[in-house]
Structure 1
Amino acid sequence: MNNDMTTYDIGELSKMSGLPVSALRYYEEVGLVESIGRNGMRRQFGPEAPFKLALVSLGKLAGFSLPDVAELFGGKIAPDIPREDLHARADALDHQIKRLTNLRDMLRHVADCPEKSQLDCPNFQKLMRLAVRHQKISGA
């Protein structure tokens, strides 16, 4: 983390982070980053802003929502994330990976199925039953 007194205006921070200025404004609004003032009409951010934005990106990549990330930060630069939350998220990712791997394997089988019609393929029929079951469970 950068501990010098470097400041970044919102445009610089946008370019550094790859986030649109509107997202940075929203992140400030919900407490994910904090501006330290203005230079003219442009918000200024302190040296910790790029680090905080990297943490937000990591949290989003891990599947946490922005409100979850904001709650985990608790307004601090270095979050104290409950380890049980991290384990729970890792477990959810494991479940999702397993489900997606099974779906990928099933689709590959159906694509290569020797049956004349995919509708005659037992694995395709199984895939259809799973899709219907998933729809009933998720309400999608």
Structure 2
Amino acid sequence: MLDIAEVAQRSGLAPSALRFYEKKGLLSSNGRNGLRRTYEPEVLHRLALISCARRAGFSVAEIGRFLLAMPGDTAVQQQMAVKAAALDEDIARLRRMRDSLDHASTCTHEPLVECPEFKRMLAP
């Protein structure tokens, strides 16, 4: 069993975030050790998923629906497909930005943002 402080430290999340996720039904504690909530070690895997999804732009409500989804839940599966397509667009945009910044870091064009290659790399 891990207490809330250890889960917070290992996950990089504040204890208040853990309590918030528990209140929203994304986590469940296993009980208490004195006044501190305790969790099964597997909670770290769930928190990794939650943190990744949050950084990808998922709402807490979306994550909650995804965590409860079953194979026959076509509405949630459709939402997952839409979200996957949006993430593909985000990934492509971020790659263009990364590549253009890599180019600009060694470019000699003045100003850098007017470089034809920089502009080409940013174009969709």
TM (normalized to structure 1)? 0.58
2: CA distance, partners of 1:100 / 1:50: 28
Gaps of 5+ in 1: 1-6, 122-140
1:19-72: per-residue Cα shift (whole Å, max 9, x none)? Answer: 001101111111111111111111111232111111212222332111110121
Kindly report the root-mean-square deviation, in angstroms, between the aligned alpha carbons of the 2 structures.
3.4
Note if 1:25 corresponds to 2:4.
no
Report how far residue 101 of structure 1 moved.
6.8
**How many matched pairs?**
114
1:26 maps to a residue whose letter is F
Find 1:16's aligned residue among 3, 6, 10: 10
Find 1:59's aligned residue among 38, 53, 60: 53
2:38 alignment partner in structure 1: 44
Gaps of 5+ in 2: 115-124
TM (normalized to structure 2)? 0.65
Distance verdict in 2 for CA 1:47–1:101, change over 3 Å: closer
1: CA distance, partners of 2:58 / 2:64: 10
Spell out structure 1 runs of 4+ moving beyond 2 A: 79-87, 93-106
Contact 1:63 / 1:89 at 8 angstroms: preserved in 2? no
Give the greater-gyration-radius structure (CA): 1
Contact 1:62 / 1:89 at 8 angstroms: preserved in 2? no
Contact 1:8 / 1:47 at 8 angstroms: preserved in 2? yes
Alignment of 1:1-140 (within 5 A): 7-74=1-68, 80=70, 82-97=76-91
Percent of aligned positions that are identical: 40
